[in-house]
Amino acid sequence: MIGETIFIERLIISAVLGGLIGVEREMHEKPAGFRTHIFVCLGATLFTLVSLSIGGDSSTVDISRIAAGVVTGIGFLAAGTIFRERDRTVGLTTAADLWVVAAIGLTVGIGYYSLAAVTTIFVVAVLIVGRVLDVYFLNRLSKKEKLLAKKE
């Protein structure tokens, strides 16, 4: 049985890790920002903790069912962030990062803090590097289009 102190510790860690990703998303005014990421991470952690508490040492309770429910539920939530604008789709990165934030929450819930922290670092790094690469390729594409326009 997990004690309340450990519950609280895991919830705090979850809020911090979800918040770190949420800050990056908030800075770029994405549909899901700081609070949403914290809530998703906290919710996944709390469901995991409750699942572990219900299951305990019992072999009659399948604790993985709650984790599976979180994964499915986040899929529906994240799908709401995807929109079609003219000839492009937006919100896919937000949907994907919400899904990963839920996984981070589940990971914190079972007590794998290092794995959750490293995953958070990876997510933030991918978001930052991805944004830099997007700008680079958009500028490169824009220059190519200008050259083609001059030739015509």
Task: Give 31-52 pLDDT, tens digit per residue.
Answer: 788 999 999 999 999 999 988 8
> What percent of the chain has a predicted confidence (pLDDT) above 90?
48
Relative to beta strand 83-85, strand 88-90 is antiparallel
2: left (phi over 0), alpha (psi -120 to 50) or beta: beta
Which structural domain, as residue segments, surrounds residue 44? 4-151
Domains: count for the chain? 1
Average pLDDT over residues 96-123: 96
The answer on pLDDT for 12 being more than 90 is: yes
